[in-house]
Amino acid sequence: MTLSPITLVLGGLTILVVGVVWVGVAASRRGEGGWRTPLALAGFFAACSAALYAVDASLSLGAAGLAVASLVMAVLRSDFPAWLAKAASRPLPQAALVALGGVGLIIYGLYRIDADLQKDLEDSAQVVNAASAPIDLNPSSVPAARTDHGRPIPLWVPSAGSVESLQTFSEKDYLSRMHLNARLIQTGAVDGDYNCHGWIFTGGKFWVRGSWVETILADNGYRETKKPMIGDLCVYRDGQGEVSHTAIVRGLGADGLVLLESKWGKLGRYIHNATEDHAYRGHTPTFYRTKRGTHVLAGIDNVKPEMLRGPAEEEEE
């Protein structure tokens, strides 16, 4: 329940009036009287607070304050303060109080750690969901691209609203929460005009859906290779065998290290490790080679040939 400032002020005034009246009564009776009367009043006011809460939560605050004030008065009029003072002067209760204080701090610390971790997980999930949220796509008005066998490949462009939404997306926050900000070389800025398949097969002009990648592989003479070369195509597939991502081999190192360049959905382009340190963890990479000299589909014009060309030479396996 969120209490407004006016409600808090009214509740405080109610308690203040009760306190002032009680001070007057206590002074006139020179402190005489037992603890039963204020305890009974505390129960009465608590019942009133519960009844008012069912009607309006803010109305119950005044009665709850009266109940607390009455309970405090009952405790002060009883023998409890004297007993507590006597118990507090003994070593055993003092040691127990210190131990309980330590336990309380540990519990509170664990609660804060859990709360902070939960908030961090929620924030991370929100950022990751924003990065993976689909973009609204419309069919392109230009003719479809074609495979080498003449089959058309539909091309897509994002809606204006989808592109505008990227202006509020924090790429830096996303990469940081994925623990990737220091493990990548960025080669292109956030851009919603094309995806990974569109970068490779249309030179960064359009979106191409992953469901068409298998058709492109079959029609354009791609064959799987266990020894990737610079310029080869890398296709990632998820646990169901569906194409999830495509990339280009950009570097080879010792111990089987393969560096790829790829466009991450609506994010930027990055050079990254083929097996880890990327946004498609858990997906399986497979390398392909073609003799075409380029990965760009037929029908796509004005694409620099050196941008996405295949291997400079064919390697016998």
pLDDT tens digits for range 204-230: 999 999 999 999 999 999 999 999 999
Distance of alpha carbon 48 from alpha carbon 80, whole angstroms: 26
Task: Provide the pLDDT for residue 192.
Answer: 82
Identify any residues that bridge with 234 across adjacent strands, giving them in sequence order.
Answer: 247, 287
Least confident among 118-127, 186-195, 238-247, 283-292: 118-127
Task: Indicate the domain borders of the chain.
Answer: 5-89, 133-289
For the range 300-308, what are the long-range contacts, defined as Cβ-Cβ under 8 Å and sequence gap of 24 or more? 300/145, 300/201, 300/202, 300/203, 300/205, 302/203, 303/202, 303/203, 303/205, 304/203, 307/203, 308/199, 308/200, 308/203, 308/248
**Is the model more confident about 119 or about 198?**
198
Highest mean pLDDT: which of 52-56, 170-174, 275-279?
Answer: 275-279
Is 202's pLDDT higher than 90? Answer: yes
64, pLDDT greater than 90: no
Task: Determine the pLDDT at residue 309.
Answer: 47
Q: What whole-number distance in Å separates Cα of residue 124 and Cα of residue 153? A: 36
Name the least confident of 9-23, 50-64, 88-102, 114-128. 114-128
Least confident of 110-114, 171-175, 231-235: 171-175
Most confident segment among 22-31, 143-152, 212-221, 247-256: 212-221
Amino acid at 294: T
Of 121-135, 136-150, 165-179, 236-250, the range with the lowest mean pLDDT is 121-135
| Residue among 140, 160, 158 nearest 299 (CA) | 140
Dihedral, CA atoms, 156, 232, 237, 258, nearest 10 degrees?
-130
Amino acid code (one letter) for 226:
K
- Here the tokens at position 275 are 């097996």
Report whether pLDDT(312) > 70: no
Using one digit for the tens of pLDDT, what is the confidence trace for 141-175? 877 799 999 999 999 988 877 666 666 566 777 77
241-259 burial by CB neighbour count: b if 16+ within 10 A, else e?
eebbbbbbbbeeeeeeebb
pLDDT recorded at residue 288:
97
